Structure 1
Amino acid sequence: MKAIIYRGTGDAGVLQLVERDLPEPGPGQVRVRVAVSGVNPTDWKTRSGATNPQSVPEVIPHLDGAGVIDAVGDGVDRGRVGERVWLFMATQGGSTGTAAEYALLDAGQAVALPEKVGFDVGASLGVPALTAHRALTVAEDGPRRLGPGALEGKVVLAAGGAGAVGHAVIQLARWAGATVITTISGPEKARLAAAAGAHHVINYREGDPAAQVRELAPDGVDIIAEVALGANLALDLAVLRTRGVIATYANDGGKPVSLDVRQNMTLNTRFQFLVLYTVGDDALRAGAEDVAAAVADGALPVGEEHGLPLVRFPLERTADAHRAVEGGAVGKVLVDVSP
């Protein structure tokens, strides 16, 4: 099979296209013929050594993807052969990533994808959708699971609604019945956030964004899904309701965070920091089940018309796909692996 590998961390040039033997699934595993692989910021950060600098054995990267199960190991229902699936956390636990024609992973990391839903949607779920799910289910006064009506009466603020996670926050929150506000930096991103389904779109570079949010949500925002905590903390605290939660999954821009303890005591602010690697199996399982339900309901479409443009590369140009994500490409970067 054709596969992308790297044997040591570094820039995108460490990625190589090679031929490897077809892997055989072990107990509890499935083998998936990958159609489309999704690229996330965590993929290039891991490859570069930015998150954990080290020398590594041979790695096939990418956590997310979609394809068809073509073989199963002992203990897995043989009826799953031929099932269309979306994949998450594919490189975890000794499994192989999705930047290859075939990937091995635990059966629970391959989730059924309805026939009516394309592989592009499947490959765009994973990290963004599960991160969004976690952000939306950690509020003190909110639900632990999502479904239609679960967030009825709640106000959600998606910071950076034109990003992949922000896009998923908007779509999942709307599906669950929330009023969704998003902040963006310009008119093109505003168009994308509106296409994703945000009820209200605010350019944080114009006027008084906190006042605009407060006008829309006089009692404050229940849940903030935050991508740039250092840059946005003052705005977040100005609009957060008492006992609200700021769920932060990134700190884009790298601005240091300084907390006014008294202000947060008064608000009873809940800060939830999150990363999928350590979130725990129960949270991942719940997220995958709820995301699958949203997909079945048609709630997570992708593409320009749905607020998430697709930027595509063939497998042999995976290095360029990494450079695109690292460079801040707007939309979802996908690698086409197999027809």
Structure 2
Amino acid sequence: MSLPRIAIDAMGGDEGVRVMIEGAALARRRHDRFKFLLVGDEDRIRAALEVHPNLRAASEILHAPDVVTGDEKPTQALRRAKTTSMGLAINAVKQGDAGAAVSAGNTGALMAMAKLALRTMPGIDRPALSALLPTLGDSDLVMLDLGANTECDERNLVQFAVMGAAYSRIATGRERPRVRLLNIGSEETKGTEDIQAAAAMLREAADKLSMAFDGFTEADKLGRGDVDVVVTDGFSGNIALKAVEGTARFVADLLRRSFASSLRSKFGFLISRPATELLKHHLDPNNHNGAVFLGLNGVVVKSHGSASALGVANAVALTARLLEENLTERIKADLARLGADNFRKSAKAAE
């Protein structure tokens, strides 16, 4: 059974067409059910497809004369949505010409375009940016929000928890993902009023939701593997994510320097190479590539701008899995169980 085709913004990312096409081709070789709508400069896309006949046979090209630049403001990009590869890829999802869109372009512009074109689903006030982080456990960690919303109230945090749990059930296979709120301490008395209120709401609604709410967690415990979903506002989430990424690069660079410091160290590297290769694989962001905009009436995935072809292929595979597992419908069903309308009214009444 073939999946709905995936719209690829072929012009996004640091290297644009070459990496995006190579990534899509790699994904297609792994999964021959994938079909694509490649959006961007038609001549450049056709040239890149010459060495990928398997992808060419499964793709249609949609010409886009313009490109959203990396430093372009979202408001500027919105004005050119009808002519840019990013805007036309998202519009293909809106029109039903594609089941999902993948872009490695400007994150702010992608969020603005996706939110305007696809709108947020009923019961969700704001979409959130979510990603998978590696852990010491058996599965990755779903974390949100990672920068879409710098300020969030308790209602937003509860909605993020519902969306993150639905995503985690697909990513980890757990029927009841373990969910926690990011806080400055694990004690029940810690945190802002919004975090405290969100925790109270999640405890009260625990029986209605397919999740196990476990209270709070701290940023230094993100990689332990004892939690499946971590919920926070976009300001704290973005800082935490970049701290994790920076620490991973620091460890990798430190090991590289240590092994190159002497002949004995180089010999030690040869002995320990299997372990270091495993560490490199675990920390490589290309193996966890693909941030998802949750809460929209459609699937939009953001690939890292510097992702390799492998990273793009993994983002495409993630997108296909979300389509296959009906992520959007799962979130809607969970919101219905929560009683989103009653929740929204009670939250407003409490203000």
Greater share of residues in helix:
2
Greater share of residues in strand:
1
Larger radius of gyration: 2
TM beyond 0.5? no
- Higher normalized contact order (CA 8 Å, seq sep 6+, divided by chain length): 2
TM-score by length of 1: 0.36
